[in-house]
Amino acid sequence: MWPDQRAAVVVFANADGSNAPGSVTEKIAPLLLAEPEDPGAEMALRQARAIFDGLAQGRIDRSLLTANASAYFTTQVLEDAAASLKALGPPESLKQTSVEQRGGMTYWHFEIKYKSRSLNLSMLTVPNGKLEQYLIQ
């Protein structure tokens, strides 16, 4: 059940101990709970990619950052980010995986795929669109 979305899935199976109900629910839930297209999502994706590409080069556009985020991205942080990201080579894809509201801010989640691994990117934006956090794991 997802009370906030006013949705529920009920699946019956004629076998005790079957994993079918859970499996069917996992397939149906994304269809029922699909978020409407967010016009800000494309902008957030472009912003996430531009910052990622900049970090791979050891630079960041500070006009996109809050004062807190700008203070975090010291010269040392930018050099470390560039060294780490360059070692991975160019990413194959960067896609949004989810978005949620948290404490008046928007919390964007992305997946960055490489040939041999994937990274998670979390981007927290304040209401004026500036970045408060940009975390790559």
Q: What are the structural domains, with CATH classification, of the chain?
A: 3-32 (no CATH), 40-136 (3.10.450.590)
Instruction: Give pTM, 2 decimals.
Output: 0.70
What is the residue-wise DSSP string for 11-63? Answer: ---SSTT-SHHHHHHHHHHHHHSPPPPPHHHHHHHHHHHHHHHHHHTT---GG
In terms of Cα–Cα distance, which of 109, 106, 110, 112 is closest to 132?
106
Tens-binned pLDDT, residue by residue, of the chain (137 aa): 666 667 777 888 777 777 877 777 777 777 777 655 566 788 899 999 999 999 999 999 999 999 999 999 999 999 999 999 999 999 999 999 998 988 889 999 999 999 989 999 999 999 998 999 999 99
**Dihedrals phi, psi of 34, to nearest 5 degrees:** -55, 130
**Which H or E run includes 69?**
helix 67-72
